[in-house]
Structure 1
């Protein structure tokens, strides 16, 4: 039995969870999540994740050429490393072209860094969950607010364990055919997971990095780059080197963080900073606010009238 492409969970079999991410198939966040899921012995776990880091690629997809999928080494799991984006991986993983059946739930993560506010738009982690949602499969994106000097890889295991009650509750609702179909969930876990304040239902805010550009020379290309859409200026970084050789006349510029901007209260980023595990329902549509809609309702007829007058 299926509904909008969602595989309904039968009581006599283990539900299937497919895991993807944007940090790459070897990322400790994904590996920790898979180990925790497998250790419960409650799910059939599959992995379809990028073969390399694809942070901040948003919802980009591969269109003009094939992508490859090669088996990856995971204990107790069928896993593939894919040459595409997180959205490619989610789409391929639920298509039944790679795995024999549609998963009951797709989890994207655990991301190295938070994904709140406007950064949800940039996030490849969130895009993996959103793509599954596009295909009618319940999905969740999970991110951990990694902070350099405070966090360590063991925190990913704690993050995965903290999400198990939510995962089990989602699967129970799917089994009962009562899980909502018009949204997916974006979960962010605070840096100090052992002392979290519990789950908090939140709304997506407008927090965003204050970013700028700095001109660099070709010798400076291998500097520090943000590895994720985390919103801490002291968060983890990774070294990325541009191996292309620029022409002499090319001007080179690198993004740099110039401080975080917190725009509104009572939203995902604020509650994450206060120590909550934030659970934010997200839809696929980006609707304008009511005030803007009312403005353009009056504005567009005036434009059309002016155009008609000008044509006379």
Structure 2
């Protein structure tokens, strides 16, 4: 009998997050893979590609049916790195899946995303990887949507594993997938590129350290943030507390990933480790650099 492929799952919402649990249940139900989980033991959204360097991290075994799972006191990048090493598990996985995230990760938000970092860290270690995010909208989405989203990703997961088996899968990229809010009526897959969409952020002064609920990598549900945490501390004398708030979501016609998501497509975006500057910037600095010394004096 042919050996099963091994998939390692991580995320940034934490090991108990419904997105991860739904993804794992769908993967286990296929009876096709060996499933491993190495995920943060708590919420780690918007930590980007941060890693733990100065102190050890711990991994605690967690009982999840059909999988070997560990909750880790580290970032998504830590979890991915540990999970693809031979320190925690007996072998290297064939594929890493990071998600399913609560909220989309398109455009510039990819830079902030711990979900994308989980996949990118595997890519750094030469392991094929996919980050998965569902465009959750409060009052519209429900927990069952994660299961539908995971099922919608199965054809891509299986196709990638087939390419890995035949040794034809490209090693110079990883894949970022965003699933639309109305996942039950999605319009299919669309190959996209990373756009420049971003939530423009501002700040507001608050009176306590209460934590709001993260709805996506960059958007917090601020309606109940002042009352969610009864243990939150009040502001002491001479101290001011501020919290980020989303002002507006900027999307234009060049934002192929975000625009496709809004139109109901499953956005599939190949990504690399480093995004080079746009060609016109390279041309500008090619002409600019030789005259740096002369220009520096003109600024005085």
Partner of 2:38: 48
The 1:168/1:128 distance shift into structure 2, 3 A limit, reads: same
Q: Distance in 2 between matches of 1:130 and 1:235?
A: 33
Deviation at 1:228, TM superposition (A): 2.4
Partner of 2:9: 19
For the pair 1:222 / 2:210, whether they are aligned, the reply is: yes
Q: Please give the secondary structure, in 2, of the residue aligned with 1:275.
A: coil
Q: What is the TM-score when the length of structure 1 is the normalising length?
A: 0.89
Q: Distance in 1 between matches of 2:204 and 2:255?
A: 33
Partner of 1:140: 130
Gaps of 5+ in 1: 1-10
Deviation at 1:215, TM superposition (A): 1.7
CA RMSD for the aligned pairs? 2.5
Partner of 2:102: 112
The 1:95/1:234 distance shift into structure 2, 3 A limit, reads: same
Aligned 8 A contact 1:215 1:254 in 2: yes
Q: Distance in 1 between matches of 2:212 and 2:296?
A: 51
Q: Please give the secondary structure, in 2, of the residue aligned with 1:37.
A: helix
Aligned residues: 298
Partner of 1:29: 19
Partner of 1:297: 286
Gaps of 5+ in 2: none
For the pair 1:154 / 2:144, whether they are aligned, the reply is: yes
The 1:184/1:52 distance shift into structure 2, 3 A limit, reads: same
Q: Please give the secondary structure, in 2, of the residue aligned with 1:17.
A: strand
Q: Distance in 2 between matches of 1:97 and 1:245?
A: 43
178, 181, 186: which one aligns with 1:196: 186
255, 261, 266: which one aligns with 1:277: 266
Aligned residue runs from structure 1 range 224-303, under 5 A:
224-229=212-217, 239=228, 243=232, 247-265=236-254, 267-303=256-292
Aligned 8 A contact 1:222 1:239 in 2: yes
Deviation at 1:236, TM superposition (A): 11
